[in-house]
Structure 1
Amino acid sequence: MSGKPHLGPAGRPLTVADVLALPVVADGDPRVVTGLEHVDRPVRWVHITELTDPASFLKGGELVLTTGMPLPDDAGGVHRYVDELAAVGAAALVIELVRRYHRPPDALVDACRARGLPLVTLAKDVNFLEVTQVVHTLILGNQTDAMHRTQRVHEAFTALTLRGAGPGDVLRAAAEMSGHTVVLENLVHRALICEPSGSTAETVLADWERRSRSTPAADRAGIRGPEGWLVAPVEFQGEVWGRLAMLHGPPGRFGPFRAAAPPPFGPEDVTVLERTAMALTIARLTRPTPWERAAHRDTLRDLAEQRHHSPADAHARIAALGLPTEQTRFVAVLADVPAEADTARTEARISEELDASGTQALVGLLAPARIGVLLALRPSRPCRQAVEHVSRTALDSAPGATVCAGSPTEDLADVARSFREAARVAEATGPGQPLPPDRSFHLRSDVGLPRLLYALRDDTRVQEYAERQLGRLLDHDARHGTDLLATLRGYLDAAGNKTAAARATGVSRETVYQRLRTVERLLGRDLESGEQRTELHVALQALDALRGR
């Protein structure tokens, strides 16, 4: 007889409640008289006895079946009988109320209640031999199934390790295999990765730091804390840097004899968590990016692309990473780095500078050459000052970087809009775009017509418009070596003042008049018309955008 729990239905230990629900037992009309809260105890074996001292033949975890014939007549003897069963760790005592008793003796009920031993009565005759056959077949069969499941767990994690799976993939596999929520946290109780199972991130991560700190650390996998988490340390280069926590899913239906609490974690859950910790250690050795930064990247992308299940989930994930979510202004900042090789260094530098200044933020790569920053600022902290700090840091680390910011928002649900706004500003900001005199970053208010057209330069409608308006003039200049386009530009820049245009281009007024008449003839336009001059001016701005000017 094995000393370890045998896996029952769904890969967990076979419990007293499971046995009572079997048809061969259920036909006896079982009733739990005492210890209802303990019917989730694992059953390792079934023992039929009519002895007055059955405990001497038990090793713990047995479901004891009796007709009640050997029970002492005196209350003291009954108490000793129950004390011995409880001391050896019997799972439950089942007494048939058919032969000697038709109701359980008061002394037996009192003794079982005092020792927390489940006492189950059977109102009808039950074939005890058939019970042992059915239960032992389940136990032995599930023992073999458990071995196969454990082997599959090892194979699955080995495959994940060999293909270089990241921490998110590893935790996702753990949650799927166990059917439980799995969370990876660091030493300061920041939840870096959460894979909910049957729950939402909001439910799992609510008040995470306090709940986590109330769950003691363990040097190996074990059940800890008031919520009964299964936790295991995660090491890196011989030092513990975080831990895994496996949480029960939301309460479900536990059957007529099941306690309200969820069933305990089984050996297979321990195996899954231990293999998860091992896979994470190997992954950290082979992946240079610190996982705290990886967690920031993933969360940033989810926020920017609105991939969270709900605003509440987003709040929970942000809070679990240590950022404030209430009475906070959020600002999205994008830093486009000229050389992709400089992004990792710049990302680390921005993160370090913000930490040093006490600024709460998420920092991470959103694209190969784009760094995203989500500033979480208290109302008293000026947004512009914080964005300027990010911008100066990025420019110091990667000269030539372009930094753009979205509008502040007090609602986390609007963070994606702030990121979209910053991205549109970045699209409208060409290389070397002059900065405003009072800041080192770009805002939406900086985007005028030239930058709007620059952002739309890949749109075929813009290209077609510029060609339709100016194509014949450009063709003429190319064939004849003239520069009528410059004359038109000078004239339009001078707001139709031919004298100012002649002075700006360095030619006589008569020459300007002659060239402008040629322009009108080639384009079929009337340059005295304000509307047509506007159309041509927009076309020139579009042409500059297409040429990258």
Structure 2
Amino acid sequence: MSEKHHTAPRPVTDGLDASLPGPGMDTVGHPLTVADVLALPVLSAGQPQVVTGVDRLDRPVRWVHMTELTDPATFLKGGELVLTTGMPLPEEPAGVRRYVDELAGIGAAALVIELVRRYHRPPDALVHACAARGLPLVTLAKDVNFLEVTQVVHALILGNQAEEMRRTHRIHEAFTALTLRGAGPEEVVSAAAEMSGHTVVLENLVHQALICKPSGGTVEVALRDWERRSRATPPAGHTSVSGPGGWLVASVEYQGERWGRVVMLPAPPGQATPSAFTPAAVTVLERAAMALTIARVIQAVPWERTSRRDLLRDLVGQRHCSPTDADARVAALGLPTKDCSFMAVLADFPQEADATKSEAVLSEELRKKGTQVLVGLLGPTRLGILLLLPPGQPCSPLVEHLSRTVLESVPGTTVSTGSEVTDLFGAARSFREATRVAEATEPGQPLPPGRSYHEPSDIGLRRLLFALREDTRIQDFTERRLGRLLDHDARHATDLLTTLRHYLDAAGNKTLAARSGGLSRETVYQRLRSIERVLDCDLESGEHRTELHVALTALDVLRAPSTGSNGR
């Protein structure tokens, strides 16, 4: 080993801390590995060549030990990178094997031998012994200052340990803050995914994926065939890697009662995030499980209901990246999607408390009947229901049962539907239609015979105008067509508007108009001439009569009592 002194190069940290954007904190890194150390300038200057154990260069290096002893394992604890000039190696092959066996037995990370003084090529016995024990053997073709190697590597290891402590502290602080402000499971799982750079999933005891926050991938990839994969991953008593997929799993439980588990998935091949789970990733998952436990204790709403509500809102808002992502989320909750059709139903309740109570009651009622459905609050007084209809099942009887259940529970509720759609991604369209039906439904609107809900085909002229009543163009049109007649009636105490209404309702039949108003035909003729003069129109014109009829209907709608926001 050379005794000359060189200025120690600045430690190289590039590639040692894989990071992804996080919520105000660094993401998890990985321990220093044999490959990382060999890439350092202080060691790469010796032209290192990996002779054996190429596939084991990801071993973590916990320390560096330079030695010329024949029994260095006595002073090792495992994870050390052993540096030697080769001077102490025994001559006989048996002694070399014993030397390697002791290093491998103690768990040394790798053996680095300098080929400058005693050897110019590694001894065959040493190569065979290292290959047999799976110990990485690295040769150095040039002189290297081992003291500088230990200084640089130890500085990196200690720096990583200090950073790991700071990172762990930040993780604890982040989850403590989430817990103190009462964060729900959705926010906790999102934070875990962002901090770790891994996909994180919360599932219940029957292996339904309630919440999935993908990182660097899609929901469809993360949740594909979820139940089968999850059941192949056995539970563990503590946070650990489990199952054929190499999932990191932590149980969510309280006082011995298990509620589910939170799962961290390894990164898919080719992703920047390391596939192996770092100590910081383990800490993230453990703290996430703890935060979820506290959230479950504090918050009374079951996770299943919350997850279905959130899924419904995402479907309504079309917040999925693709139809396959939407299908995967629904399927991971144990709901069918293949060959199903879908229909949106909205229930607008008189009061907010009615909607909250009905969400739980209706979910339980439909579950008992075996109806596949997503139920969730979409507004303070609006409950959204998405029916998942198997092939051949008619929707009308199911909607009728649902509607009557709601009306019996809370009289005065308005139930509206959209049209049936054949794909899950089209559910948003069905909800838009149901929303238009609800907007076009006045309080106390009569129901069609034999039906307890409103559907798109019910929307006629009056209901269309009712839905558009806040549009200033409707208001302007009404005023331009009828304003002068209303002003005339107000100034002269006449009632020409009523006569006009009777005339239009009678489709231009003056005799019927006179009978409806209890007037003589001559009086009706006189009033109609006055209306034509005031409005400057021709009541014999079909177009003019249509315009006035629309304006009169709009006037009635505009004069109707205010109905608030219809649950929006």
Q: Distance in 1 between matches of 2:116 and 2:271?
A: 31
Instruction: Give the TM-score normalised by structure 2.
Output: 0.88
Task: Give the superposed CA RMSD.
Answer: 2.3
- 1:277 and 2:285 aligned: no
Aligned pair count?
Answer: 537
Name 1:519's counterpart in structure 2.
Answer: 531
- 1:399 and 2:417 aligned: no
CA deviation vs aligned residue, 1:428-471 (integer Å, no higher than 9, x gap): 11112222223222221111111111111000010111111122
Q: Distance in 1 between matches of 2:493 and 2:409?
A: 45
User: What's the CA shift for 1:373?
Assistant: 1.6
Unaligned runs of 5+ in 2: 1-14, 19-28, 562-568
Name 1:33's counterpart in structure 2.
Answer: 51
Moved more, 372-381 or 71-80: 71-80
Given candidates 261, 268, 274, the residue that maps to 1:243 is 261
Q: Distance in 1 between matches of 2:94 and 2:326?
A: 61
CA deviation vs aligned residue, 1:349-373 (integer Å, no higher than 9, x gap): 2221222222222211111111112
User: What's the CA shift for 1:295?
Assistant: 1.7
- 1:467 and 2:479 aligned: yes
Moved more, 73-82 or 490-499: 73-82
Query: Is the CA contact (8 Å cut-off) linking 2:202 and 2:261 kept in structure 1?
Result: yes
Name 2:447's counterpart in structure 1.
Answer: 435
Q: Distance in 1 between matches of 2:412 and 2:326?
A: 33
CA deviation vs aligned residue, 1:374-427 (integer Å, no higher than 9, x gap): 222221222223322332232233222222222222223322212111111111
Name the CA shift for 1:390/1:126 in 2 (closer, same or farther; >3 Å). Answer: farther
Matches within 5 A, 1:174-193: 174-193=192-211
Which letter maps to 1:156?
Answer: A
- 1:299 and 2:278 aligned: no
Which letter maps to 1:314?
Answer: A
Find the residue that maps to 2:87 and give its secondary structure: coil
Which letter maps to 2:45?
Answer: D
Find the residue that maps to 2:320 and give its secondary structure: coil
User: What's the CA shift for 1:472?
Assistant: 2.4
Given candidates 194, 210, 214, the residue that maps to 2:212 is 194
Matches within 5 A, 1:62-77: 62-77=80-95
Moved more, 365-374 or 23-32: 23-32
Given candidates 137, 160, 174, the residue that maps to 1:142 is 160
Name 1:213's counterpart in structure 2.
Answer: 231
Find the residue that maps to 2:383 and give its secondary structure: strand
User: What's the CA shift for 1:263?
Assistant: 5.0
Name the CA shift for 1:426/1:327 in 2 (closer, same or farther; >3 Å). Answer: same
Q: Distance in 1 between matches of 2:147 and 2:320?
A: 55
Q: Distance in 1 between matches of 2:203 and 2:85?
A: 52
Matches within 5 A, 1:73-222: 73-222=91-240
Which letter maps to 2:42?
Answer: V
Name the CA shift for 1:334/1:113 in 2 (closer, same or farther; >3 Å). Answer: farther
Which letter maps to 2:173?
Answer: E
Query: Is the CA contact (8 Å cut-off) linking 2:216 and 2:271 kept in structure 1?
Result: no
CA deviation vs aligned residue, 1:478-526 (integer Å, no higher than 9, x gap): 4454433222222211111122223333333333333333333332222
Given candidates 530, 541, 545, the residue that maps to 2:542 is 530
Q: Distance in 2 between matches of 1:545 and 1:185?
A: 50
Q: Distance in 2 between matches of 1:427 and 1:371?
A: 14
Which letter maps to 1:245?
Answer: V
Q: Distance in 1 between matches of 2:219 and 2:106?
A: 42
Find the residue that maps to 1:9 and give its secondary structure: coil
Moved more, 137-146 or 406-415: 406-415
CA deviation vs aligned residue, 1:138-164 (integer Å, no higher than 9, x gap): 111221222222222222222222222
Moved more, 201-210 or 462-471: 201-210
Unaligned runs of 5+ in 1: 1-6, 255-260
Which letter maps to 1:183?
Answer: V
Name 1:331's counterpart in structure 2.
Answer: 343
CA deviation vs aligned residue, 1:14-40 (integer Å, no higher than 9, x gap): 112211221122222223333333322
Given candidates 17, 23, 37, the residue that maps to 1:9 is 17
User: What's the CA shift for 1:343?
Assistant: 0.9
Q: Distance in 2 between matches of 1:501 and 1:238?
A: 80
Query: Is the CA contact (8 Å cut-off) linking 1:236 and 1:284 kept in structure 2?
Result: no
Instruction: Give the TM-score normalised by structure 1.
Output: 0.91
Query: Is the CA contact (8 Å cut-off) linking 1:349 and 1:397 kept in structure 2?
Result: no
Find the residue that maps to 1:464 and give its secondary structure: helix
Which letter maps to 1:460?
Answer: T
Q: Distance in 1 between matches of 2:36 and 2:476?
A: 74
* Identity within the alignment, %: 71
Find the residue that maps to 1:233 and give its secondary structure: strand
Q: Distance in 2 between matches of 1:229 and 1:433?
A: 55
Name the CA shift for 1:138/1:444 in 2 (closer, same or farther; >3 Å). Answer: same
User: What's the CA shift for 1:236?
Assistant: 4.9
Name the CA shift for 1:398/1:116 in 2 (closer, same or farther; >3 Å). Answer: farther
- 1:42 and 2:87 aligned: no
User: What's the CA shift for 1:64?
Assistant: 1.7
Q: Distance in 1 between matches of 2:110 and 2:226?
A: 37
Q: Distance in 1 between matches of 2:275 and 2:115?
A: 29
Name 1:425's counterpart in structure 2.
Answer: 437
Q: Distance in 2 between matches of 1:457 and 1:306?
A: 28
Moved more, 206-215 or 364-373: 206-215
CA deviation vs aligned residue, 1:238-274 (integer Å, no higher than 9, x gap): 52211111223333488xxxxxx94532222222212
Find the residue that maps to 1:132 and give its secondary structure: helix
Matches within 5 A, 1:339-350: 339-350=351-362
Q: Distance in 2 between matches of 1:227 and 1:542?
A: 63
Q: Distance in 2 between matches of 1:100 and 1:451?
A: 98
Q: Distance in 1 between matches of 2:244 and 2:142?
A: 40
Moved more, 159-168 or 137-146: 159-168
Q: Distance in 2 between matches of 1:29 and 1:439?
A: 84
